[in-house]
Amino acid sequence: MGRDVIDAAEVRRIAALARLALTEDEVRRLARELSAVLEYVALLDALELPAGTPLSPAGSPATRSDDPAASLDERSVLAGAPRTARGHFVVPRVVGP
């Protein structure tokens, strides 16, 4: 497509925020792919649609109903966890002290 909307430096910055280790080949590939996605979104944004144009196909609900339903019991949910303590999941710390 056209010029890169997202350059390698931006990909490296985002990867650092996500704590991802990328090779230089991956950085270049992701810069191209992300730029292509943003260019396509810009094309869609440029479309002049009449007011009231539906954003979802006709006949499909835009949202699902949000009806109360029975939930799983604590014991069965925690049974699948590698570690638990006092009724909670135990997970590794992901944010520094």
Spans of all domains in the chain: 8-46
pLDDT at 50: 79
Helix (H) or strand (E) run with residue 27 in it: helix 24-46
What are the structure tokens assigned to 53, written together?
């144009």
d(CA 57, CA 70): 31
d(CA 75, CA 87): 8
Q: In sequence order, which residues have a C-beta less than 8 Å from that of residue 10 and are 6 or more positions away? A: 31
What CATH architecture does domain 8-46 belong to?
A: Orthogonal Bundle (1.10)
pLDDT at 54: 64
pLDDT at 32: 95
Dump pLDDT digits (tens) for 65-80.
788 999 999 999 999 8
With a cut of 60, say whether residue 2 has pLDDT above it.
Answer: no
With a cut of 50, say whether residue 1 has pLDDT above it.
Answer: no
The b-or-e profile of 27-65 (16+ CB within 10 A means b, else e) is beebbeebbeeeeeeeeeeeeeeeeeeeeeeeeeeeeee
